[in-house]
Amino acid sequence: MSETKIRSAHLNFYYGASQALHDINLEIPAREVTAFIGPSGCGKSTFLRTLNRMNDTILGTRVEGVIEIDRENIYAANTDVVALRQKVGMVFQKSNPFPKSIYENIAYGLRVNSLTKSKAEMDERVEMALRDAAIWEEVKDRLHSSALGLSGGQQQRLCIARALAIRPEVLLMDEPASALDPLATQKIEELILKLRGEYTIVIVTHNMQQATRVSAYTAFFLLGRLIEFAPTKRIFHEPDDQRTKDYVSGKFG
Amino acid sequence: MWQQATNRRRKHVLEWLTEKVILVTALISILSILLIFYFVGRKAVPILTNEVIQQTANLAEFFRPNGTTPDGHTTFIWQPISERPKYSFIPLLLGTLKATIVAMLVSVPLALLAALYTTEYAPRQVREYIKPAIELLAGVPSVVLGFFALVVMATWLQKLFQFEMRLNAVVSGCALGLAIIPVVYTVAEDALSAVPRALREASFALGASRAQTLLRVILPAALPGIFAGIVLGFGRAVGETMIVVMASGNAAITSWNPADSIRTMSATVAAELAEVVYGSAHYHTLFAIGALLFIITFVINSIGDWVIGRLNTRLQGAKR
């Protein structure tokens, strides 16, 4: 396993009084694709959202334990959450472009973080992000029309481009293809494979084939606990835990 | 088999009945609006057609200077009860305009900031008190607001601004503002809280702060709704009557000075219609004022609708 990018130690998470995550210990390798799998409600998305402190925006949530990114505890009192989210980008389950033009969607992150100095630089970064997300050719002639006029799959790739534009180191993806048709899904997966090696990617998926296709490592969650974490091949072919075996072989879902 | 058929028939009759009942209720409300329009219009029409009435009250008289000030300037006068009645709409239009502008200046910022606070910043417990409290303001009868303005606000504002006239455009505008705050607030608050959570999260995930998210994502997305609230508030301010009858001073003065007393169009109709001679020029003139009020609010609402439609297409990105 390569160097560790994200380390979770004894992480507990609560929505009000109910505990959603129990003692999660996990080391996510840098510049690899790591998949989280597990049945609905197992805590995989909740865990993903602790990695950029997205759960902070939900009232009544509480975290115990430590999550380190590059050996720094992101739940330390002096953490700059804005800087953290700049470093840890996120793509959501349902594509959520802003009701603005395609160009402005990409430029948004650059603007709020004041990352560019000139219009030319902005244009360049926008184009680069769209190229990185493999959507440039489809939208280059209508950069200034509304992003909501794009198809679902295009919108999702736009959201990926938007996340890439501010050059994060980590990219969190919460079931990024679950609302898309097979062709659009394939495009997203190709994109993930293209980005692998440059970004540390963590993807939540309920599609096990997808996990085998895109990820190097897989974590299996069940009822708020991490059951097993290993190279993807191993999880799917010779898992240590009987529950993992039952899940990946389709005995329950 | 037979049982099933009757059940089906009974269901069918019920469907039919429901549809017709809804249709009739909808038609009744449309019909009442048309009837109001018709009767107000019919009573205003002699201004345009009846030659006897036109001798004293006609369109030119309504909008052209019809008097002189002591120092010899031409001016506009509303003086329906006198030897030679004078029916200029200009002082009334100015009065309505001044009161409405003051009301909008007072209510829009307050209502919008309150809506932003309740949707974005207030803890849930606080929000649960503020929202109904502001909406309760909408239930306060305007005669009560007028009374409050007449007795309390007028005194405070006179002390504060040293007004020469105790009742004036500022006092009545502020009181009107109180009546409009809940209108603007409720609609704007709905628009702001209807902005999908997903957009906020997208913004936060890109490293935007709360204020940036608010200004660059939430406000633009809620703009059509906010604008609708403002238009609704404007319509209410233009037509509101009881507050201005009580707190405006009711003097038809042609001036832009907000510290002067005013007489609004609505207050004029309310105050004079009960005592006017039936069928006189004055009588029909009052209906013409009513018709003009109708037209003004109709035009404002139409423009508002048009702007809201444009904002919506821009946001929702109809493919162009």
- Most confident segment among B114-118, B123-127, B312-316: B114-118
B70 and B172 in a common domain: yes
- The shortest CB-CB distance from A85 to any of B200, B205, B221 is to B205
Mark yes or no for CB contact B204/A85 under 8 Å.
yes
Rounded to the nearest angstrom, the gap between the alpha carbon of residue A98 and the centroid of all alpha carbons in its chain is 19
A54 and chain B: CB distance < 8 Å anywhere?
Answer: yes
Count of domains observed in chain B: 2
| DSSP-H helix ranges across A72-216 | 81-87, 102-112, 119-132, 136-139, 152-165, 182-195, 208-214
- Residues from chain B contacting residue A58 (CB–CB below 8 Å): none
The contacts of residue A38 (CB under 8 Å, 6+ apart) are A44, A206, A220, A221, A222, A227, A247
Within-domain flag for A66: yes
Spatial CA neighbour of A187 closest among A196, A177, A179, A197: A177
Domain annotation covers residue B146: yes
Q: Are B235 and B125 contained in the same domain?
A: yes
Whether residues B31 and B172 fall in one domain: no
Residues B149 and B208 in one domain: yes
The pLDDT, as a whole number, for residue A222 is 94
Q: Is the pTM of this model over 0.90?
A: no
Same domain, residue pair B36 and B80: no
Same structural domain, B36 and B151: no
* pLDDT reported for residue B317: 54
Please tell me whether residues B27 and B130 are part of one structural domain: no
Residue with tokens 């180191």: A169
Q: How far apart are CA B11 and CA B17, in angstroms?
A: 10
| Cα(B88)–Cα(B254) distance, integer angstroms | 10
Cβ <8 Å between B201 and A57: yes
Query: Whose CA is closest to B290, among B50, B96, B28?
Result: B96
Residue of chain B whose alpha carbon sits nearest to that of A91? B202
CA atoms B261, B262, B263, B267: torsion sign: negative
Cα gap B214→A52, rounded to integer Å: 20
For residues B77-84, average pLDDT? 88
Same structural domain for residues B259 and B154? yes
Structure-derived torsion over alpha carbons of residues A43, A49, A50, A51, reported in degrees to the nearest 10? 120
How does pLDDT run across B228-285, given as a tens digit for each residue?
A: 999 999 999 999 999 999 999 999 999 999 999 999 999 999 999 999 999 999 999 9
Task: Give B130 to chain A, closest Cα distance, Å.
Answer: 19
**Does the residue A146 lie in any domain?**
no
Helices (H), chain B: 2-44, 46-49, 51-54, 59-63, 90-116, 124-138, 142-148, 154-161, 169-193, 197-205, 210-213, 219-239, 242-247, 265-272, 281-316
Domain for residue B27, yes or no? yes
Nearest neighbour of B204 by CB, restricted to A57, A100, A159:
A57
Q: What is the distance, to the nearest Å, from the Cα of residue B103 to the centroid of all Cα atoms in its chain? A: 10
Between chain A and chain B, how many beta carbons pairs sit less than 8 Å apart?
A: 87
One-letter identity of residue B180: I
Contact B188, B222 (CB under 8 A): yes
A146 in contact with B, Cβ within 8 Å: yes
Q: Residue A46: in which H helix or E strand, if any? A: helix A44-50
A112 interaction partners in chain B (CB closer than 8 Å): 203, 206-209, 212, 216
Distance CA A60, CA A52 (A): 17
Residue B308 and residue B176 share a domain: yes
Give the tokens for residue A77. 């009192």
Using an 8 Å CB-CB cutoff, list chain B residues near A59: 124
Q: Is the pLDDT of residue B320 over 80?
A: no
Q: Point out the residue among B199, B216, B314 whose CB comes nearest to the CB of A96.
A: B199
Subunit contact B201:A96, Cβ cutoff 8 A: yes
Contact: A98, B316; criterion CB under 8 Å: no
Q: How many CA atoms lie within 13 A of B18 on its CB side?
A: 6
Query: Measured in whole angstroms, how far is the alpha carbon of residue B192 from the centre of its chain?
Result: 22
Which of residues 84 through 123 in chain A touch B, CB cutoff 8 A?
A: 85-86, 89-90, 92, 94, 96-100, 108-109, 111-113
B173: nearest Cα among B250, B110, B107: B107
The answer to whether residue A166 neighbours chain B at the CB level (below 8 Å) is yes
Q: Given a cut of 70, is residue B99 above it in pLDDT?
A: yes
Are the C-beta atoms of residues B223 and B195 closer than 8 Å to each other?
Answer: no
The DSSP call for residue A173 is E
**Is residue A69, in this structure, part of any structural domain at all?**
yes
Contact list in A for residue B316 (CB cut-off 8 A) is: 99, 146, 148
Statement to judge: residues B30 and B68 lie in one domain = no
Range of the domain at B242: 63-316
Is residue B78 assigned to a domain? yes
Beta sheet of A217-222, edge-to-edge order: A88-91, A170-174, A200-204, A33-37, A217-222, A225-231
**Where on the phi/psi map is residue A97: left (φ > 0), alpha (ψ -120 to 50), or beta?**
beta
B→A interface, C-beta within 8 Å: 124, 196, 198-209, 212, 216-217, 220-221, 314-320
> Which chain A residues are Cβ-neighbours of B202 within 8 angstroms?
92, 96-98, 159, 162
For residue B56, being part of any structural domain is answered with no
- Residue of chain A nearest B318, judged by CA positions: A149
Is the same domain home to B96 and B8?
Answer: no
Q: Distance between CA A3 and CA A32 in Å, rounded?
A: 10
State which residues form the domain around A185.
4-96+170-248
| Average confidence (pLDDT) over B127-147 | 91
Residues B96 and B187 in one domain: yes
Q: CA neighbours within 13 Å on the CB side: how many for A79? A: 21
Q: What is the pLDDT of residues B45-73, one digit of tens each?
A: 999 999 998 888 888 889 988 888 888 88
Residues in chain A where the model's pLDDT stays below 70 = 1, 253
Kindly give the interhelix angle for B219-239 and B169-193, rounded to the nearest 10 degrees: 150
The answer as to whether B98 is a domain residue is yes
ipTM confidence score: 0.91
Residue B54 lies in a domain: no
List the CATH number of the domain containing B271: 1.10.3720.10
pLDDT at B169 over 50: yes
Split into its structural domains, chain A has a count of: 1
Alpha carbon distance A153, B237 (integer Å)? 47
CATH number of the CATH domain containing A215: 3.40.50.300
User: Tell me: the pLDDT tens digits for A34-85?
Assistant: 999 999 889 999 999 999 999 988 888 999 999 999 999 999 989 999 999 9
Q: Could you tell me if residue A233 is inside a domain?
A: yes
Strands (E), A175-251: 200-204, 217-222, 225-231
Domain annotation covers residue B307: yes
User: Which pLDDT value is given to residue B319?
Assistant: 41
pLDDT greater than 90 at residue B292: yes
Closest-approach residue (CA) in chain B for A172: B205
Distance, in Å, from the CA atom of A89 to the CA atom of B204, rounded to the nearest integer, reads 10
In a domain, B50, yes or no: no
